[in-house]
Amino acid sequence: MELLLSILQAVLYVVLVFFLIYLVKIIREVSNSVKGIEEEIHNSSQRLQPVLENLENLVTTLNNISASISNQVDIVKNATSVIKETFEDYERIKNKIRSAVEDPIDELISNKNAIIKGVKVFWQTLTNRS
């Protein structure tokens, strides 16, 4: 019985040694995989660095263009506002001139027509009497 127990212990130790060797092998493979992943990440980050820098430059350029367009739109808005005010001033002046000139001209035309009618009536009356 003791011999059987010793043989089982020896087999158990051998199995344990093989298990430990297998475990070390798996740990090395995992370690190598982790190192490979680390290298891939490093290489990817090295390749991604210029792309990110270009993207940053592109975003900066787009921000500058956007600010420039915004400034140009503000300038156009201001110019449009000035033109609108100028047209409004023109209309106001035109209406003032029209009201200042039309009334006296209408009165003058009315007076002229009245005078012409008066003269016609006078001549008709004068010619009818003779």
Tens-place pLDDT, residues 108-123:
889 889 899 988 988 8
> d(Cα 126, Cα 54) in Å, to the nearest integer?
104
Tens-place pLDDT, residues 38-68:
999 999 989 999 999 999 999 999 999 999 9
Phi-psi region of 65 (alpha: psi -120 to 50; beta: other; left: phi over 0): alpha
Q: What band does 29 get if pLDDT is binned at 50, 70 and 90?
A: very high
Residue 91 has pLDDT above 80, yes or no: yes
> d(Cα 87, Cα 79) in Å, to the nearest integer?
12
What radius of gyration do the chain's Cα atoms show?
Answer: 53
Residue 97: what pLDDT?
84
